[in-house]
Amino acid sequence: MQDKVIIVIIISTIAALLLLIVVLFLWSIIRRIFNERKYRKLDHLREIYDKKLRTSLEAGDLSRTQSEFIAPPKSNAWKAIEDILLCLINEDKYQDEIKKLFSLSGYVSFYENQMKNRNVHVRALSIDKLGKMKSEASVSKLIPLLDEEDAEIVSVAVRSLSKIGGREGLQAIIERLDGMLVRSIVSTKALSMALQTFGADAIPYLVEQKTGRADPWIVSSILEILSRLSADPRSAHLAAEHLLSTNSEVRSKALKVLGRAENVHAVQNLPELILPLLQDPVWYVRLQAIRSIRALGYEEAAAPIGKLIFDQNWQVRNEAAQALIMLGERSLGVLLEVLTGADRYAKYSVCEEIEKTNFSARLIENLKENDQSLQEKSRQILEIMHSLGFSTPLDGYLERGGDEAVKELIWKMKKTGSGV
């Protein structure tokens, strides 16, 4: 009797599972069919409203036809109109009219009400939509969200305020900058990306915000943000003040701000201020110092940068090799010292950078220069490269054809294979 009961239970369980599978399968098919119909309708409505909106905008009579673009919230027409408006708002010539239409059609008030929803996802989506709609009228409602504890809400509010723009939103973000950074509510990268949208307008606020601040984390974060904004003398002077900071992060970020070609005249003797940091005890400060000198194109730095090709840190070594190549002909003597030295790794690194950056083409052109010193250094470097197996540039020149005297020199290099 018990065996029969067990068999019945097993069969019933299997049947129930099969029935559930069939139901789920049918439901997925029905849902797919429903969604396909829904999206077809939405696509059709988008085409209709896109044509209507563009016609009205081109004719300049949107104020007369705006009632045609009002639909019940969450309806297909509502979604279709919203999609079209969000596309058109990014076209400068329509932006003002579209912003007004978002308000008149009820989208702004709808999403402002949705910000009160208990569901965090719904709130975040509504905040994001207001930013995309560039709703200036919503700024006063978005600013209080910067003081919330939920990181997602604060992050979305920052992004939305940056999309809307304006000094009110900018000032509100920067006034709360310390709190957001210290509490890690918003990352430095996210804040930097948001503030980039405000452009140069953000610089004076950031520079002023730093005044009197001693927290290295806050200072380094502000410098990081400034490094991503356009070059500005105010940013450069602030960074120069922190080159001798006891905090390595601050020194590194200061170098990042100053490593802009536009800043070379903003601070007096800027390259000379940066040069000592090539010997900084912290590797990533040395790395940033190389990048800054390289960006400024300070050729006199070739010798001290050359020493860093033997640095303990591989990233610093690679950066030093790249910088020497980019500094040009002033670095030929330093390159030659490295290539005639005993450090095989350093020699290969330099050869790889010469090939990768196509600096070899410049060296080959130097073979027909009247400057004997320049010609000789270039020839020696090419010979050493050939002896180390970096012959592709020479072979390429011979295949393409060129100056006969240069070709003759190359044939001699290839024949002797000397230089090491």
- Spatial separation of the C-alpha atoms in residues 194 and 189, rounded to whole Å: 9
405 part of a folded domain? yes
CA nearest neighbour of 217 among 243, 179, 274, 255 = 179
Give pTM, 2 decimals. Answer: 0.71
User: Which long-range contacts (C-beta less than 8 Å, at least 24 apart) are formed by 5-10?
Assistant: none
At residue 403, does pLDDT exceed 90?
no
At residue 63, does pLDDT exceed 80?
no
Most confidently modeled range among 8-12, 71-75, 135-139? 135-139
29 part of a folded domain? no
CA nearest neighbour of 180 among 214, 142, 222, 141 = 222
At residue 132, does pLDDT exceed 90?
yes
At residue 254, does pLDDT exceed 90?
yes
Give the pLDDT confidence score for residue 153 in this predicted structure.
92
Give the pLDDT confidence score for residue 396 in this predicted structure.
85
365 part of a folded domain? yes
User: Binning pLDDT at 50, 70 and 90, where does residue 369 land?
Assistant: confident
Run of H or E residues at 235? helix 233-240
Lowest mean pLDDT across 129-138, 249-258, 298-307, 361-370:
361-370
Q: Is the dihedral of CA 94, 100, 103, 106 positive or negative?
A: negative
What average pLDDT does range 358-379 have in this prediction?
86
Give the pLDDT confidence score for residue 212 in this predicted structure.
54
At residue 2, does pLDDT exceed 80?
no
What average pLDDT does range 393-408 have in this prediction?
81
At residue 367, does pLDDT exceed 80?
yes
User: Binning pLDDT at 50, 70 and 90, where does residue 35 land?
Assistant: low
What average pLDDT does range 62-81 have in this prediction?
86
319 part of a folded domain? yes
386 part of a folded domain? yes
Give the pLDDT confidence score for residue 61 in this predicted structure.
78
What average pLDDT does range 136-149 have in this prediction?
93
Q: What is the DSSP letter of 231?
A: P
Give the pLDDT confidence score for residue 357 in this predicted structure.
84
What average pLDDT does range 379-387 have in this prediction?
88
User: Binning pLDDT at 50, 70 and 90, where does residue 7 land?
Assistant: confident
What average pLDDT does range 243-257 have in this prediction?
93
309 part of a folded domain? yes
Give the pLDDT confidence score for residue 406 in this predicted structure.
82
What average pLDDT does range 235-248 have in this prediction?
92
**Between these two residues, 416 and 45, which has the higher pLDDT value?**
45
Q: What is the DSSP letter of 138?
A: G
What is the extent of the structural domain holding 310?
A: 305-420
What average pLDDT does range 33-39 have in this prediction?
66
| Mean pLDDT across the chain | 86
At residue 34, does pLDDT exceed 80?
no
Give the pLDDT confidence score for residue 17 in this predicted structure.
81
Give the pLDDT confidence score for residue 418 in this predicted structure.
46
The tens digit of pLDDT for each residue in 160-194 reads 999 999 999 999 998 888 888 877 777 778 888 88
Total number of domains in the chain: 1
159 part of a folded domain? no
Integer CA distances (angstroms), 242 to 33, 112, 232, in order? 63, 43, 16
Q: pLDDT over 70 for what percent of the chain?
A: 95
Q: pLDDT over 90 for what percent of the chain?
A: 28
109 part of a folded domain? no
Most confidently modeled range among 3-12, 218-227, 395-404, 408-417? 218-227
Helices of type H across 357-391: 359-365, 372-387
